[in-house]
Amino acid sequence: MRKIWVPVSLLLIAMSVATTVATAQYQYGFVNKEKVISAGLGLGLYGLYGSSTLPPVFVAFDAGVADKITVGGIVAYAGSSQDYIYGKWKYSYIVFAGRGAYHFIENNKNWDAYAGLGLGYNVVSATVDYSNPNVPRTGFSASGSYFFFDIFGGGRYFFSPQWAALAEVGYGVGFLRLGVSYRL
């Protein structure tokens, strides 16, 4: 695992330095037609069966459609499992959601605070691994997919003109989301 993080960290640092040097002019606040892509991890997921094996990993995109207003989407993946006497159930969750946000802070090159709403669908699938040889292997049908409503608030701290640290609280893709954002 450590072998992966070192090259990724060096790549992120190099990209940050390159974009900082290449940027000659900088806009303050979230402005019309600005685009931001974010990625990170969520903590907690509503509707999770059993115990988490993989926290929600997400990618989000936001585009400015008017001053202080953005629309976009988020995609996430998570996993969990639950043990029973006859075997172990494994669940996977694929989340798709559209979202819109209002950005509060103006004339600040480092901070972006926002709140918004979203509507999404969580595709839940399940498999079972039988560990007890005395239990007959039978077919099963598992369905747990559902629509959800998301309400969220968050902020970004831009430590360079393009790169930011991200923190959000909400209901849809994890109760707490932490990650990085890149301004396109």
Rounded to 10 degrees, the C-alpha dihedral 142/147/152/155 comes to 70
- The pLDDT value recorded for residue 168 is 95
Strand partners, 128: 89
**Average pLDDT of the chain to the nearest whole number:** 80
φ, ψ of residue 182 in degrees (nearest 5): -130, 125
Three-class secondary structure of residue 21 per DSSP: helix
Q: What are phi and psi of 31, to 5 degrees?
A: -110, 165
Please determine, for residue 57, whether its predicted confidence score (pLDDT) is greater than 80. yes
pLDDT at 121 over 50: yes
Higher-scoring residue by pLDDT: 9, 86: 86
Q: Pick from 68, 151, 160: which is nearest to 105 by CA?
A: 68
- Res. 163: pLDDT tops 70: yes
Length of the chain: 184
Centre a 10 Å sphere on the Cβ of residue 108 and count the other Cβ atoms it contains: 11
Domains and CATH numbers, the chain: 2-183 (2.40.160.20)
Q: In which element (H, E) is residue 155 found?
A: strand 146-158
Instruction: Tell me phi and psi for residue 64, to 5 degrees.
Output: -70, 130
Asked if the model's pLDDT at residue 20 lies above 50, the reply is no
